[in-house]
Amino acid sequence: MNILIVGSGGREHSLAWKISRSPLAEKIFIAPGNGGTAAIGKNISISVDDIPGILKLARDKKIDLVVVGPELPLVLGLADALDREKIPCFGPGSYAAQLEGSKAFSKFLMAEAEVPTADFKVFEDYHQAADYLKKQDFPLVIKADGLAAGKGVIVASNLDEALEALHDMMVKQVFGKAGEIVIIEEALMGEEASFLAFCDGHDFVLLPSSQDHKRIGDNDTGPNTGGMGAYSPAPVLPEELYNETAELVIRPIIQHLEGMGRPFRGILYAGLMFTSDGPKVLEYNVRFGDPECQPLLMRMESDIVELMMACVEGRLRGSGISIKSEAAVCVVLAADGYPRKYQAGHVITGIEDAEQDDRVKVFQAGTRLENGRILTNGGRVLGVTALGSDLKEAIERCYTAADKINFIDKYLRRDIGQKGLNR
C-alpha cells in the first residue's frame, strides 16, 4: 500500500514509524513531515490546510490510505474531499470533526447523548457573557469555541481573571474567529486522563489509558502548551475500568453520530477528569494526541495499518489490539521560551546515543534536516519515549536517554509520570 501521513509533529513521526513496521506498507509519504519522517518515507512540502494540494498528491502518488495527524485538515473537510475521490481516509468527516472544531457543538452533542460533562452556557454576545460571569461563583472555565492551538481554555479563579479572558477572546479577538463564541462552564476538580479508541462508525476498540502534561513547568505550573510529556498506562484509569468508562464516554457519542447518519471513523479521544462524581468529559479530540500518541504506539504490538483499514471499511467488529504489558513514557524536549518566543536553527546532537537502548525511540517534532544535520525548527523539538517493566523504570530510562541529547536552549520538565508514581 502507498500511505500518506498528513502532519509534521512528533505524533506524525511516531505514526510513520509504526506504519513502516506494517507488512502492508510499501511507500510512505508525509506532508509536510519533519527531520525524523525524512528517514522513514518521502517528505512532501504541502501545508496541512492545503486540501486541494493534498488531494492532488493523493491522486498523483496513487495513495491507498491517507492518515490525518492534526485536527485542522479534518475540520476543513479533508476526509470528505478524499471520500468523493474514493481515496480511503483514516479520520472523520467535517461534521463529526466539529467535536473538536467547535466546543459548543461538542457540548451540545454531549448533552444530547447524555455523556457526563461539566455544566455549561454558550454565549455569542460579550455583554451577556460578562453579565452572566458577575453572578457566578468561581473558579470557572472560559473556552473559545473554535480551534486555538490548545490555548483557548482559561481557568479563572476570580471575576477579574474571567472578565479579562472573556475580553481577550470576544473583544480583542486574540484567538481570531475561534473566540467569537465562548463557552463558560464549571471547573471540574480531580485528575485528568486521556482515553482513545479506534472507531469504524459503529464499533470501537480501546487503546490503554494515558496521561498528558499540559503546563510548561514542573508540578503543573506556568502556561499551557501542546503537551510536555505523557505516559501510559495512567493508574487513575486502570484497565479493569476501561469498558465501564467507554460505555459512559465513547459508545454514546459513536451511537449518536451513527444515528444522525454522520458515522465517526478514526480515533476518538476523550479527555477525562476523574471527579468525586466519577469521570466527566473535558473535551473530545478527533485524532491521536501529541504526545500521548508516542507512548501508546510504543506499547502497541498490533498492525496499525490493518486496524486503520478495518475502521475505514467498517469491519472493526471482532478486532482487538495487542498491547505490551510494559509502561511507556514520553518526555518532550522543547526550545527554551516555548510556548512563547523561542529561537530555532540549533544543531541537535545525541539522538543516536539515546537510541542505543533498544527500548528508547526519539520522535522528532519541531525539527528540519539540513545538509545532513538535524536542526531545531519548532517549540516542541523532540519526544524521547521509553519502555520499562513498570512506570518507574520507564521514567528512569526516558530521562537517561533525554540527558544524552543536546541543543542550545534545550528545556524539559523533570516530573513527567510523577502523578502515576504517586498513585
pLDDT tens digits, one per residue of 309-355: 999 999 999 899 999 999 999 999 999 999 999 999 999 999 999 99
Grid coordinates of 129: 457573557
Grid coordinates of 411: 528545556
pLDDT tens digits, one per residue of 67-98: 999 999 999 999 999 999 999 999 999 999 99
- Classified by CATH at the fold level, domain 191-422 comes out as D-amino Acid Aminotransferase; Chain A, domain 1 (3.30.470)
Same fold, 2-91 and 191-422: no
Banded pLDDT at 148 (limits 50, 70, 90): confident
**205 has pLDDT over 90:** yes
pLDDT attached to residue 200: 98
The CA dihedral of 383, 155, 193, 251, to the nearest 10 degrees, is -120
The Cα–Cα gap between 129 and 127 comes to: 5
Concatenate the DSSP letters of all residues of 191-206 into one string.
Answer: EEEEEEEEEESS-EEE
**261 has pLDDT over 90:** yes
CA distances from 388 to 112, 126, 232, 411 (A): 42, 50, 11, 23
Grid coordinates of 48: 496541512
Kindly report the CATH number that applies to the domain delimited by 125-180.
3.30.1490.20
Banded pLDDT at 128 (limits 50, 70, 90): very high
- Segment among 206-210, 219-223, 251-255 with least mean pLDDT: 219-223
The Cα–Cα gap between 194 and 283 comes to: 10
pLDDT attached to residue 423: 84
Q: Domain residues of the chain, as ranges? A: 2-91, 125-180, 191-422
Instruction: Round the average pLDDT of the chain to a whole number and report it.
Output: 97
**151 has pLDDT over 80:** no
Q: HSE of 351 in the Cβ direction (CA atoms, 13 Å)? A: 19
Percent of the chain with pLDDT over 70: 100
**32 has pLDDT over 80:** yes
The Cα–Cα gap between 2 and 303 comes to: 16
Sign of torsion over alpha carbons 62, 76, 292, 243: negative
Kindly report the CATH number that applies to the domain delimited by 2-91.
3.40.50.20
